[in-house]
Amino acid sequence: MFDYDKKTGEIWIYDEITDSGSGGVSSGDVVGAIKAIGNKALTVRINSPGGDVFEGLGIYNALQEHRQKVTTQNDALAASIASVIMLAGTERKAAPNSFAMIHRPFSMSWGTATDLRKTADLLDNAEETLVNIYTEKLGLKASAVSAMLDEETWFNADEQIQNVIATTTSRQQAIDAASVPENRFKKTPAALVRNMKAGERTAFFPNRTKAEHKLKILRANRR
């Protein structure tokens, strides 16, 4: 689910990060929202399990280039490349029960040995980019960041503050986190594992209608 409000400058990234036309939130979606909102401060609200690394980097770069203040807010979940989007804010807020996660980029690939080596090289380049961003934003050495990526490191709200992923907690009432299938990540906190039906195992937002209803309430309270 993706939405924005030209009046308030809010952008909601409440879905997986995907390329255009794949049903999630793309860099094109966010760039279009920034253009529509214009030259004013932005608040980017995140509830996402991550997704396409390069689309996520496109979102990060677009927010970094915005000339007005950018506030990012982890409303529930900022995992994988969504944690990088979180770091695009000059002010970064974490809801009390929110989680963030950083890990090494991964891909499903098939083909010849040459094809697989090309994929590995691409992943190495992507990881180097991620390490540079985390190193700059978190104030850590590259070796420390690499170790955290290798371990698939999760952060609750307090740990997000301690590690500078967030700069403050938000007063926003917590919402349900994006559902994460048990096999999506290696160390998903139990609080994020939902008892989904078999047919919903691959869906990040099985309760999409409920989430959309909550988004409408949040927007109504702003007016």
Query: Whole-angstrom Cα distance, residue 56 to residue 149?
Result: 17
Strands (E), the chain: 2-5, 10-13, 42-48, 70-79, 91-94, 99-102, 153-155, 168-169
Query: Whole-angstrom Cα distance, residue 14 to residue 178?
Result: 8
User: What pairing do the DSSP bridges indicate for beta strands 70-79 and 99-102?
Assistant: parallel
- Summarize pLDDT for 92-133 with one digit per residue, the tens: 999 988 899 999 877 667 778 887 788 778 788 888 999 999
Active site residue 98: no
Q: Quick one: pLDDT at residue 181?
A: 55
- Secondary-structure class of domain 2-103+152-218 per CATH: alpha beta
Rounded mean pLDDT of the chain? 83
Q: Of 26, 27, 48, 80, which residue is the catalytic one? A: 80
- Enumerate the β-bridge partners of residue 70: 42
Domain ranges within the chain, ordered by starting residue: 2-103+152-218, 109-150
Residue 112, token pair as written in the block: 């010849």
Q: Is residue 154 very low, low, confident or very high in pLDDT (cuts 50, 70, 90)?
A: very high
Active site residue 103: yes
- Summarize pLDDT for 196-216 with one digit per residue, the tens: 332 333 334 434 444 454 455
Q: Of 83, 103, 170, 179, which residue is the catalytic one? A: 103
Q: Quick one: pLDDT at residue 96?
A: 87
Q: Quick one: pLDDT at residue 114?
A: 83
CA-only gyration radius of the chain, Å? 17
CA atoms within 13 A on the CB side of 152: 9
18 pLDDT more than 70: yes
- Enumerate the β-bridge partners of residue 51: 17
